[in-house]
Structure 1
């Protein structure tokens, strides 16, 4: 039940961040907005861990992995994916990012030698095909020009970086480093790194933005960063990255649902097919093999008993 709650919270929050990000664009440079987001998140995380008097002293090697976590999950991955969207539609970027599921499966096998159940591969393929179906009209219009190819490669690179960050989180959990402590250090290093990047770039720190920008920023910092990352990394620890990362392909479902409510999105046949494939894949990934085997065994027994002797 705990993992189910973490799963649902992660999907609902990160699925809604697509709408919140719309209020971030056009007012402040992307890298500055990311700095604000992770600076606020880091401050909140540190206030929490200090108030709870959680242990925060770690070895130099662990701090090296905190820096990697910051780079891969709280900084570089976001920058690269934002750069990719200069060349790609949000739909194509979403499809590229859904490849995180397959990348996590492969990296879990490579880095930790963990055998992956066949149903995970089946569910992953269904999920990716479901996302492709969901955005099929945009895929048909996709022109593989030089700019689009650059965007696609950037999106895949950003996704791969995020997958490496997931592996770092799993490593930290295996070292018995608490999710909250690891995130507090990672977000602090991320804020420092992003501040340095902004100062070296042409971007400027600015506070001139409408109220909607700041409201969405605090939503992204508190819910989309502090709460969602804590839930997601806890899932990585509890059920493994190959299963936890299926939340990635569920985000667009929430985004489409919100778009239906707030942006008059009209459902087409491809929308229903995409939803169905993603949900089927999700059920396959999250259902233990023993239950699947028991289900088919029960069905076979029923059919056998139904045959007249």
Structure 2
């Protein structure tokens, strides 16, 4: 039990720390190369690395064609379309508002998990998720308060919601694949390959110029996003999802904006307010509710063993 909890906590911490730092890296991707191509480059490189890793580790990489439909859904929802939508939402919304919307992945995973997988969430998971979303709103309250629901604001909000919904559907697809005993690493390799292909086709269909930025900031951020943000973080997150469920794993989407703000404090001079600190407290309380094992769950086995 303790070993499993430590492993889950390690996967969770790795996901939060890496994804919390990718927001800075993504900023260096904007410019010469279109968002579609940048996402295609990222996941083409990540896919090649994961295929090599899976092959070296002896994981099976051949699946029946009917399984590739599920892998294609993962590629479309987790490794392409969601990023494409958020890149374009950034033209209308601040990163803080996008973080608020993305934290709704917790609620979407709870609903989609119930509808599509028939999984019920524990009451404390629901309460923890609610605390986390309220905390994120408080954390980014100045941006929420100043949000203007004009035409551009509605467009940005809809794009962000669509991107979050895609991410949630990708979570459910991954959970279903793991329920079929498909290896996470192999699924990620195929999903990333499909995602890169989708983005490349979208770039060509949209007339985006085929370009590459050889300057160090772009190349370094691309490598970081591919190796750490994709290979390691997605591997950790989706493994965690299979172990503790989509609803609880998705709480990482609430916690990693805190890491992003801590980095912003050092790099960009972010100033903390009492409301923001209160938001952090709510997020951390929600995090404890969602992730810590319940006492009742630990005590019941002991009680049942003593009765035999």
Computing the radius of gyration from Cα coordinates, the structure with the larger value is 1
Matches within 5 A, 1:1-309: 1-291=6-296
1:221-252 Cα distance to aligned partner (Å, 9 max, x none): 00000100000000011111111100000111
Aligned pair count?
Answer: 294
- Whole-Å Cα distance in 2 between the matches of residues 193 and 25 of structure 1? 19
Are the aligned partners of 1:87 and 1:150 in contact in 2 as well (CA < 8 Å)?
yes
Query: What residue in structure 1 maps to residue 306 of structure 2?
Result: none
TM-score normalised according to structure 1 size: 0.92
RMSD (CA atoms): 1.4
Moved more, 1-10 or 198-207: 198-207
- Whole-Å Cα distance in 2 between the matches of residues 175 and 52 of structure 1? 20
Are the aligned partners of 2:132 and 2:283 in contact in 1 as well (CA < 8 Å)?
yes
Are the aligned partners of 1:27 and 1:209 in contact in 2 as well (CA < 8 Å)?
no
Unaligned runs of at least 5 residues, structure 1 = 295-309
TM-score normalised according to structure 2 size: 0.92
- Deviation of 1:57 after TM superposition, in Å, equals 1.3
Moved more, 44-53 or 235-244: 44-53
Are the aligned partners of 2:32 and 2:212 in contact in 1 as well (CA < 8 Å)?
no
- Deviation of 1:291 after TM superposition, in Å, equals 4.9
1:17-64 Cα distance to aligned partner (Å, 9 max, x none): 011111111221111100110111011111112222321111111101
1:77-107 Cα distance to aligned partner (Å, 9 max, x none): 1111112222111111111111000000111
CA change 1:101–1:53 in 2 (3 A) is same
Query: What residue in structure 2 maps to residue 307 of structure 1?
Result: none
Runs of 4 or more off by more than 6 Å in structure 1?
Answer: none
